[in-house]
Structure 1
Amino acid sequence: MDLEYTITIRFDGLDAEDHEIDLFTLGESLQGLARIAGTVGHFAATQEYSRYFRSHELKVLAKEPRENCFSIDVVFEFIRQHQILAGTFPAALTGLIAWLLHRATKKDTPGADLSAKLLETLRELAGQNAEQTARLHGIMERMVVDLRPSFKQAFAPVGVSCRTLTIITPQRSDTFDETDKASLLLPINDEITELQDWVVLITELDLERGTCKARLAADPDEKRINSIITDPLLKQHNNPYSLAMAAGEPLPVRAKAHIQDGSIKRLYISDVGI
């Protein structure tokens, strides 16, 4: 083996809290992550885009799972040495994967910062050649579309057997949750709003799954909205959500809304409002 580079895939919450995870969704997730990692790794090493594993300049391997919730190390084993690999490959690989995942899920992040880092990475890969940099940027945009099925596979356990998926490298750590998965799965005519203030009346609450049914306090006669609560405060005894439901009182929250055909289909509640 000439060179090896490792990233960690970590699943947290739900079954993963007991160091277990649904095998079917795990297998689906690993297939998607392998496709993403292999394609991006080959691109970072060669500046060429290929979706065919047999033509890639590296292998993507997995080590044994670990019990800090549920983690798997993904190892990149290079088939032959490249000059770029000695210094720039790890940071390039990390940045490219982070940009793709944030772009595909429309995740809240300093977009300008990520875009600037992407451009910096592509310039380095292109040897500061402007025409080559533009070509590489076009390939990255194409990957966002072409790898969409693989992104969906990668998120398979989220909301089913775990609450979050985290990509960990020495350079950075990025955590994705059910809101990010929902953005990825949305039909083109749907949307996820920005984080907003809402006032809700909670009528049902599942503390174990972190789900609830609620009505908007401004429209108490409207149909209840299925909601997901990602706020860690929900795990505490006498948390605001349980107390508000028991008292039948409205609760201000911070949440994103999944809008479909102009109606709220789901709320993703992240914390209690003021």
Structure 2
Amino acid sequence: MESNNVMILKYEGGLTDHHVIDAVRFGQSIQGVGKLYSSVGHFLYTGSVLKPRQLSMVRVHATESGAGCYEIGAMLAVVGATQDMFFTDSVNAYRWLMEKIVHLIHGEGTGRADYEKTAGEIMDKANEDKAVSEILAHGLVAANSEQKVIQSELIAALRDLAMSNQPALRQAVAPVGRDCNTLTQLGSIKTTEADADAIRSKEDLEVGDMQEYRCERISSLDTETGSCKLKIEGIEGVISGKISDPVLFIPHNLYSQALDMHSPLIISAKPLLKDGAICKLYIADAKAV
């Protein structure tokens, strides 16, 4: 089903390259996405954040998967509506808001949420897009309030929404790093293994931007899982790593040669940070020094 009403979930890499996925974790992921989208949909439709054990006014349907890749669609519908489509005539406005809010919830899980920036972007969009303004008027903000007051109310609501949806987000990313390398939602929200580990962690972790590091030595390497131990220039001690570079599975590859020869590498990696310090590196590729 190819439609603006359908939001595609795309699982890529790992087992999904062979068009299979662990059934239990896939089920957890679909449940998590269903809860997450239902909660955000309820927020947009009613202007209020779901309370514990409250029934959502919006339900989520799963649609058929696309051909040639491992993906499935999600579609929203209003409970009790005669027409089954949630997005109706305001499809573009609802999709834009869904993407912004789900991205913010994802950012809360990875330690990168910026509530003030997101609320400001939503308010700016409402000033130029009538459909977005009408959705916000459902109860998210008071139409006769001053802009500053409206934005502060929106920030508080978004924070409440993001915090309450972290359990659903953890379910949604269950296959990432286990059955697939990435999960992409709404076309632009991509969860990598680094993101998923931060989301699943009970500790307060943050995912940093991709950057280059000088690896002085690889001290251990598992060529099946990609797990490794690294000595990184400028960082005390040994750092855990995880290599997702497909080159790893080729005999006599760059990484196994660096392990054997004790030779340095320049690696491109996303850091996982705890209290500002790197605790793990997720390596996408590397080059010889």
Which TM-score band applies after superposition, normalised by the shorter structure?
0.7 to 0.9
Answer yes or no: is 1:151 the counterpart of 2:169. yes
Measure, in 2, the Cα distance between the counterparts of 1:23 and 1:69: 16
Offset from partner CA, 1:150-172 (integer Å, 9 cap, x none): 1111111111111111013xxx4
Deviation at 1:261, TM superposition (A): 7.5
Distance change >3 Å, CA 263–CA 98, structure 1 → 2: closer
**What are the equivalent positions in structure 2 for 1:76-91 lying under 5 Å apart?**
76-79=76-79, 80=81, 85-87=88-90, 88-91=93-96
**What are the equivalent positions in structure 2 for 1:187-266 lying under 5 Å apart?**
187-200=202-215, 201-216=217-232, 222=237, 224-231=238-245, 234=248, 239-260=253-274, 265-266=279-280
Root-mean-square deviation over aligned CA pairs? 3.6
Contact 2:239 2:281 in 1 (8 A): yes
Q: Provide the residue aligned with 1:139 in structure 2.
A: 157
> Match for 2:124: what amino acid?
E
Q: Provide the residue aligned with 2:282 in structure 1.
A: 268
Deviation at 1:173, TM superposition (A): 2.0
Measure, in 1, the Cα distance between the counterparts of 2:150 and 2:264: 56
Which runs of 5 or more structure 1 residues have no equivalent in the other structure?
Answer: none
> Match for 2:191: what amino acid?
F
Offset from partner CA, 1:58-115 (integer Å, 9 cap, x none): 220112344544211111123337998522223222222222223332359x998755
Contact 2:112 2:207 in 1 (8 A): no
Contact 1:6 1:73 in 2 (8 A): yes
Distance change >3 Å, CA 54–CA 264, structure 1 → 2: closer
Q: Provide the residue aligned with 1:14 in structure 2.
A: 14
Measure, in 2, the Cα distance between the counterparts of 1:53 and 1:65: 31
Distance change >3 Å, CA 4–CA 253, structure 1 → 2: closer
Q: Provide the residue aligned with 2:179 in structure 1.
A: 161
Q: Provide the residue aligned with 1:92 in structure 2.
A: 97
Distance change >3 Å, CA 38–CA 219, structure 1 → 2: closer
Q: Normalized against structure 1, the TM-score is what?
A: 0.78
Q: Normalized against structure 2, the TM-score is what?
A: 0.75
Q: Could you tell me which of 163, 178, 188 is aligned with 2:193? A: 178
Measure, in 1, the Cα distance between the counterparts of 2:86 and 2:259: 61
Offset from partner CA, 1:100-156 (integer Å, 9 cap, x none): 223332359x99875543343577233465344432331111122111111111111
Deviation at 1:243, TM superposition (A): 3.5
Measure, in 1, the Cα distance between the counterparts of 2:30 and 2:205: 27
Shifted more, 6-15 versus 229-238: the winner is 229-238
Measure, in 1, the Cα distance between the counterparts of 2:37 and 2:98: 8
Measure, in 2, the Cα distance between the counterparts of 1:83 and 1:256: 37
Distance change >3 Å, CA 240–CA 189, structure 1 → 2: same
3-state SS in 2 of match to 1:55: coil
Answer yes or no: is 1:126 the counterpart of 2:136. yes
Measure, in 2, the Cα distance between the counterparts of 1:54 and 1:47: 14
Contact 2:44 2:136 in 1 (8 A): no
Percent of matched pairs sharing the same residue: 24
Q: Provide the residue aligned with 1:105 in structure 2.
A: 110
**What are the equivalent positions in structure 2 for 1:15-30 lying under 5 Å apart?**
15-30=15-30
> Match for 1:118: what amino acid?
I
Deviation at 1:54, TM superposition (A): 6.7
Measure, in 2, the Cα distance between the counterparts of 1:45 and 1:219: 49
Measure, in 2, the Cα distance between the counterparts of 1:256 and 1:84: 36
